[in-house]
Amino acid sequence: MLMAGLSMQAQAGLFDKNPFGADGPLQVDDAFRLDYSVEAPGKVRLIWTIQPDYYLYRDRMEFKSLGGSSEIAQRINAPSEEKDDPLFGKVQVYHEFAEVELHLASLTDSTVNDRFSVTYQGCWEGGICYPPVTREIAIDAIPPQADGDAAALAGATGESDGPDGNGSAVVADAGTASVSYGVGTAPVSEQDRFVGLLQSASLMVTLGAFFLAGLALSFTPCVFPMIPIISSIIAGHGHRISTGRALGLSLIYVLAVAVTYTVAGVFAGLFGANLQAAFQNPWIVASFSGLFVLLALSMFGFYELQLPSSWQSRLTRASSRRHGGNVAGVAAMGLLSALIVGPCMAAPLAGALIYIGQSGDPVLGGLALFSLSLGMGVPLLLVGASAGKLLPKAGLWMEAVKAAFGVALLLMAIWMLDRIIPDRVTMGLTAMVLIISAVYMNALDRLPDQSGGWHRLWKGVGLMLLVYGLALMVGLFAGSRSLVYPLQGLASGQTAKASLSFSKVTSMAQLQPMLEQAQRNGQPVMLDFFADWCVSCYELEYVTFDDERVRQALSGFQLIKVDVTANDEAARLLNREYGVIGPPALLFYDGSGALKPHLTLIGVIDPDDFLQHLGRLEG
């Protein structure tokens, strides 16, 4: 699930250079020059010189003490102008010149130098909005506060914005001359909203929001592949397992997944290491698929997986002291599942990794990742507990259930191999497993006259698997590649409908000429960051991009698939250049060649939401 981390320099690099020539946007420090002066003890004046065709958002100006002995007792903004933004309504902005006066009050009896952070955000009229920028300023010798200042400081907001009275939000320190993402009036991308949540919200609110985001992600390919794994673990214990024991094993599995996500995520955020991409090496994927095949054969009763007798005796003695047999094995399966089985990227995860990379604070970012992982694990706990409750206690039914989980493990092995084998091979293997399973379920045998309801249900399921397996086989020979629509196009005697045509690149040297050509043609561009091992990438391809409305909406775009499967230096350079944590990610250029970073999409999006999102670019 976890991809390459993102450094602050990579994010800032989006605006530290001008890829569009002399007529493009200036560097942020050239567009908005900040100066400040200490006019009297406790009084600071900040002045921005704004270049023509640029403006600053008044309500994006934020100030915070960086742990010193002084606080901001009052803030006074200079008069601003109202701008009717076609996307965001009426906002207050500054053109040419902006000024803010800060009144500071000391919180101690000593007079010491203090540091404060100043955050601001502006836009270029040509269509670019800069990310929020944070600078540090040093203030000398603030005198001790008077009683009146203390009372003012204890007020509701401690700030005054003049006649309008709009308060300023507090933003966390992002370091000197660093880029800090947040949520506000100006347009920001979805993952940046989660960065803003980490920067500004309370700890409990942040952790709760990430837990709910993880719960939402539990209904995506990030978690679905883990359900048959935990189910097979429970079923492998047979009728001896109790509901409490099943829930306990499920909890161990979920905690192992959560800890792995957290540690790997913090590591990726701090050091930029693409740990999970490394685990998508074909040899590793093939080995793990082989392990699933061995587990499936064990479920079918071909053999029993057992440790050497000496190991078993030691584990037996340990189990007598603590009721935790197989805990280490379940935890190891959870660790491997997190790194290999469910690689995906989503906005909350990307936001946490960006925050860790920018702030260097692994504690809050790690807690957010842990909460996200626990939310994703809730369905796994429910599946584990219900499996322990619903499994038959003994008899032939138990063997049938174990065989069903064996089939599920075989399908899991094929699904994992799909990242490194052609689509048609995947279809063929899937069809073979389904057809053979249907034969073993007596789908082709005549039911005895006195058959009960369960036997009829079992045969009905077998017939459904047989029909679907045959449909996959027919579709395979007809040229289809879709597991969802294997017979698409056969009814009309035509081949399957044409998909979107992407140009594939694997390096900046290949990408740059395409961008320049699209700019000359006045053609908008969509970059699709993709990897063979990325499950969510295929969901975008076969669901979102397969929608007729989406294909029509993108008909005028230059579509470029940025393939980062290799995770080599060229792929890492592409990720750094565009601030991409990992695939899938969609980035957009307008017809003038301007990158629209606030429209960046991370993770899977359904066709309706994608079309609405695309309308923001056209607007």
Q: Which of 139-143, 213-217, 267-271 has the weakest average pLDDT?
A: 139-143
Q: Which of 142-151, 158-167, 503-512 shows the highest mean pLDDT?
A: 503-512
Q: Which two tokens stand for residue 398?
A: 């138990």
Q: Which two tokens stand for residue 136?
A: 């540090």
Percent of the chain predicted with pLDDT > 90: 8
For range 139-144, the mean pLDDT = 49
Judged against a pLDDT cut of 60, whether residue 166 lies above it is answered with no
For range 152-156, the mean pLDDT = 32
pLDDT score, position 355 = 60
CA distances from residue 535 to 39, 88, 163, 455 in whole angstroms, order as listed: 58, 35, 53, 36
Judged against a pLDDT cut of 50, whether residue 231 lies above it is answered with yes
- Domains of the chain with bracketed CATH: 8-186 (2.60.40.1250), 206-421 (no CATH), 503-618 (3.40.30.10)
Instruction: Please indicate whether residue 46 or residue 165 has the higher confidence score (pLDDT).
Output: 46
Q: In the predicted model, what is the mean pLDDT of the chain?
A: 71
Judged against a pLDDT cut of 70, whether residue 375 lies above it is answered with yes
pLDDT score, position 343 = 52
Measure the CA–CA gap between 261 and 2, rounded to whole angstroms: 7
Q: Is 381 exposed, middle or buried (0-12, 13-18, 19+ CB in 10 A)?
A: middle
- What residues contact 493, with CB distance under 8 A and at least 6 apart? none
Measure the CA–CA gap between 348 and 375, rounded to whole angstroms: 12
Measure the CA–CA gap between 147 and 518, rounded to whole angstroms: 64
Measure the CA–CA gap between 287 and 570, rounded to whole angstroms: 27
DSSP tag of 595: B
Nearest to 200 by CA among 179, 175, 169, 177: 169
Alpha-helix runs per DSSP H in 490-561: 508-520, 535-539, 548-553
Judged against a pLDDT cut of 50, whether residue 98 lies above it is answered with yes
For range 549-570, the mean pLDDT = 88
Percent of the chain predicted with pLDDT > 70: 63
pTM of the predicted model, to two decimals? 0.44
In terms of C-beta distances under 8 Å and separation of at least 24 residues, what long-range contacts does 200-205 make, across chains too? 200/169, 200/170, 200/171, 200/172, 203/364, 203/367
Q: How confident is the model at residue 466 (pLDDT cuts 50, 70, 90)?
A: very high
pLDDT score, position 381 = 82
